[in-house]
Amino acid sequence: MPRSINNPGGLQEQPKKEHTMKIADQIPKIIIAVLLLGGGAVVVSKVTGTSSGGGIVEVTVPELSQIAALGKEPFDTNCVQCHGPNGSGTDKGPPLVHKIYNPGHHDDGSFMRATKNGVQGHHWKYGNMPPQPQVNAVQIASIIKYIRELQMGNGIFYEQHRM
C-alpha cells in the first residue's frame, strides 16, 4: 500500500497534529497581545498632540506615563470646564500648566485641598473654586500626575518658593 511506504507505521501523523494544536493554543495569546498593543496606541494617540485652542496658554502634550494618561479622564470630567483642555486655562479658571503651580509653590497637597475644600481665589481674578467632593483620592492622584507631566513637558519644574 502506498500509504505505508510513504509513512511507515504512520508515525508522522501524531507529531504533526500536536504541532497544529500548539499554534492553535497560541492564537488567543496573540489576539490579546494585538489588542493590548492596539489599545495602547489608541491611548497614546488620544493624549499626544497640542491642545487645540480654548485655553489661555499654549500647552504641548508630552508623552504621558500610564498613570498620567489615566488622570486625563477625571480631569476632563471635573476640572476641564474651568482649568481648560490640558490645564491650559479658561475664562472661569487659571491654567494649571503655569509656573505659579510648579510643585515648589503648589505642592501635591494643594491639589488635594483644592479638590476637597475648594479655593479662595487669590492669585487671579476668577473668584473662588468650588469643592469637587465627587473626585476620589485615586482620581486626584492621577490628575496630579497628569498636571505635573504636562507642566514638565512645558518647561515648568520645581522652584523653591520664596515669600
Stretch that binds ligand HEC, among 21-29, 31-39, 46-54, 106-114 (CB under 6 A): 106-114
Query: Is 68 one of the binding residues for ligand HEC (CB under 6 A)?
Result: no
Query: Is 127 one of the binding residues for ligand HEC (CB under 6 A)?
Result: yes
- Out of 40, 49, 121, 133, point to the residue binding ligand HEC (CB under 6 A): 121
Confirm if 73 and 123 have CB atoms less than 8 A apart: no
d(CA 160, CA 99): 12
- Out of 47, 69, 79, 150, point to the residue binding ligand HEC (CB under 6 A): 79
Please identify, using beta-carbon distances, which residue of 31 and 137 lies nearer to ligand HEC: 137
Please identify, using beta-carbon distances, which residue of 19 and 92 lies nearer to ligand HEC: 92
Query: Is 83 one of the binding residues for ligand HEC (CB under 6 A)?
Result: yes
Q: Is residue 75 exposed (0-12), middle (13-18) or buried (19+ Cβ within 10 Å)?
A: buried
Please identify, using beta-carbon distances, which residue of 17 and 61 lies nearer to ligand HEC: 61
CB 105, min distance to ligand HEC, A = 9
Closest CA to 129 of 162, 102, 160, 106: 106
- Out of 122, 155, 162, 163, point to the residue binding ligand HEC (CB under 6 A): 122
Confirm if 146 and 69 have CB atoms less than 8 A apart: yes
102: amino acid identity, one letter: N
Instruction: Provide the mask over 131-150, with x wherever binding to ligand HEC is found by CB under 6 A and - wherever it is not.
Output: -x--x-------x-------
Q: What is the DSSP letter of 20?
A: H
For 62, other C-beta atoms within 10 Å of its C-beta total 15
Closest CA to 65 of 145, 155, 157: 145
d(CA 89, CA 54): 8
Question: Which residue ranges make up the site for ligand HEC (CB under 6 A)?
Answer: 78-79, 81-83, 92-94, 106, 110-111, 114-115, 119, 121-124, 126-127, 129-130, 132, 135, 143
